[in-house]
Chains A and B, each alone.
Chain A
Amino acid sequence: MAQLSIRVNERMWKIIATPDTPLLYVLSNELGLQGPRFGCGLAQCGSCSVLVEGIETRSCVTLVGSIGSKSVTTLEGLSSWFARQKGLSKVPALHPVQQAMIDEQALQCGYCYNGMIIKAAELLSKVSQPSEAQIRSAMNGHLCRCGTYPRITKAIQRASRMMPEVNK
């Protein structure tokens, strides 16, 4: 066990953990975050995804000791991350992808949607108007056992249409 400092959602946290602890366990057990969730534990499903320096990362196989000074963003901090990225003066209650998931009534159980939203937010941060093929390609590594893929695609398209407005 060692004392480690990690930056999560723009806040520094001191935690006691062995450096080989997967980041996911630190986020859910030490920090009490409910966004990233254990799905497969093998980086196959994406329900544990977080952003590390803006890059979608599977927290179940990312060792907390490897994070160092990098900035971790979870679902809980996504709208703040978005506001910083876009230079918005006010942090919206939800990231446009989150709002679009509500507007499309996309999810059923919602367990995988942490990863769906994180990945879609990463995609839109790089490509603000992705084609359906780009969406399908980006979301390929995220699994939804409820099978809500068509609505996820529609919601990301809806969110992408909201992007130019917030870019102004």
Chain B
Amino acid sequence: MTSSLTGAAFARRDFLKGGGALIIGFSLCGAVFGQEGVDFVAFAAGPDQPDLKQLDTWLAIHANNTATIFLGYVELGQGSSTALLQIAAEELDLNMNQVKSARLDTNWSPNQGATAASAAIARGGPRIRAAAAEARRALLTLASKRLNAPVDRLAVFNGMVSVVDNPTRTVAYGALLGDKPFHVPFTGTAPLKPVSAYKVVGTRVPRNDIPDKVSGKHVYIQHVRMAGMLHGRVVRPRGQSAYAAGAKVLNVDESSVRNFPNARIVRRRDFIGVVAPNEWDAIRA
């Protein structure tokens, strides 16, 4: 149960570890296509996940006249986290400096299924667009009361609502709702802005994930550190085939890791791994 740094078995082990998440994502493609529906909320939320049929699940308006958009797709370098914000900004009549996305977390991100099949824009885009349009409609309803003017006589520029017939009368999104929830159901029925009126979508916007990536601030999954976390390595016998043609464990020589007092062997049926607080200990063990 030892492995040299340059051994081929070691390299394959780590290669698979690094690529695992991507492989899983693609394996879900079939399920994603199967669930695609005509409504804007195509996925069921889990018991502890935000309700996809509530507008507050999709975005929040802050007192400083900015918006947070809750995306359900992972930014993998495809630029979707920027493009989806463009779509939201467009429908809300905000500029790109007024929108940001929240870090993905199953506690607050809408479950939009796997990020796969180049579908973040194709499937996520229409939902974000509909949610942003619905938010704009709700905000204009509030503004109509505040400004005492019918909704169809209101105009919005950079999150500032004004009365068409008297542009000096204005109210900001942030003043209407600042950091309070909409408490409005997400119906997907709000009218969408015509493409001919687009100002943000269709323009070149710098990707929002790049600055952190070139400066070393971006947290890749390899950087995640949990309290009390152990590092692990899977033991793969030489000659083992991939996928379901696993080797049978005959015996495990537990004494082979005795030189690493903090290392422990993990065995589940024919799966064997080694864990240790120190990553290099786990690798050597």
Minimum CB–CB distance from A120 to chain B (whole Å) comes to: 11
CA distance A76 to B18 in the complex (A): 23
- Give the residue name and chain of the A residue nearest to B212 (CB): A110
Per-residue CB proximity of B1-25 to A under 8 Å, as 1/0? Answer: 0000110001100110010000000
User: Chain A: which residue is nearest B10 at the CB level?
Assistant: A41
The answer, yes or no, to whether A38 is at the interface (CB within 8 Å) is yes
B107 at the interface (CB under 8 A from A): no
Selected contact of B209 from candidates A39, A40, A110, A114, CB within 8 Å: A110
Instruction: Report the separation of the CA atoms of residues A117 and B215 in the bound assembly, to the nearest whole angstrom.
Output: 10
B15 near A40 (CB under 8 angstroms)?
A: yes
Q: Count how many chain B residues have C-beta atoms less than 8 Å from C-beta atoms of the other chain.
A: 31
| CB proximity of A22 to chain B, nearest CB, Å | 7
Q: Which residues on A sit within 8 Å (CB–CB) of B6?
A: 42, 61
Residues on the A chain within 8 Å of B215, using CB: 75-76, 94, 98
Residues of B within 8 A of A40 (CB): 11, 14-15
A82 to B21, CA, bound (A): 36
The answer to whether B214 touches A38 (Cβ under 8 A) is: no
Q: How far is the CB of A89 from chain B (nearest CB, A)?
A: 21
Q: Which residues of A contact B211 (CB under 8 A)?
A: 102
Q: Tell whether A85 is near chain B: CB-to-CB under 8 Å.
A: no
Interface pick from A25-33, A124-132, A160-168 = A25-33
0/1 interface trace, chain B 241-285, chain A, CB 8 Å (1 if under): 000000000000000000000000000000000000011100000
For residue B206, CB closer than 8 A to chain A, the reply is yes
Given contacts A41-B10, A41-B11, A42-B11, contact A114 B216 (CB under 8 A): yes
Closest residue on chain A to residue B206 by CB atoms: A105
**Please, what's the 1-or-0 string for B198-212, where 1 marks a CB less than 8 Å from any CB in chain A?**
000000001101110
Residue from A17, A42, A117 having most chain B Cβ neighbours under 10 A = A42
Could you tell me if A108 and B216 are in contact, using CB atoms closer than 8 angstroms? no
Q: A22-B5, A108-B77, A110-B77 are in contact. Are A37 and B210 (CB under 8 A)?
A: no
A134 at the interface (CB under 8 A from B): no
- In A80-120, the 8 Å CB interface with B consists of 94, 98, 101-102, 105, 107-111, 113-114, 117
With A101-B210, A109-B76 as contacts: A37 and B5 at CB distance below 8 Å: no
Q: With A28-B223, A105-B207, A146-B77 as given contacts, are A110 and B279 in contact (CB-CB < 8 Å)?
A: no
**Contact call B210/A107, Cβ cutoff below 8 A:** yes
Complex CA gap A146/B222 in Å reads: 18
Q: Given A34-B219, A35-B216, A41-B10, answer yes or no on A61-B5 (Cβ-Cβ < 8 Å).
A: yes
B positions within 8 Å CB-CB of A: 5-6, 10-11, 14-15, 18, 76-79, 206-207, 209-211, 213-220, 222-223, 225, 231, 278-280
Given contacts A40-B11, A110-B214, list 17 more A-B pairs with CB under 8 A: A22-B280, A28-B222, A29-B278, A35-B216, A38-B222, A41-B5, A41-B14, A42-B6, A61-B5, A74-B216, A75-B215, A94-B214, A98-B215, A101-B210, A102-B210, A102-B211, A108-B76
Residues of A within 8 A of B (CB): 17-18, 21-22, 25, 28-29, 32-35, 37-42, 61, 74-76, 94, 98, 101-102, 105, 107-111, 113-114, 117, 146
What are 25 of the A-B contact pairs (CB < 8 Å)?
A17-B280, A28-B222, A29-B278, A34-B216, A34-B219, A38-B14, A38-B18, A38-B222, A39-B18, A40-B11, A41-B10, A42-B6, A42-B11, A76-B215, A76-B216, A94-B215, A98-B214, A101-B210, A102-B206, A102-B211, A107-B210, A107-B213, A108-B76, A113-B213, A117-B214
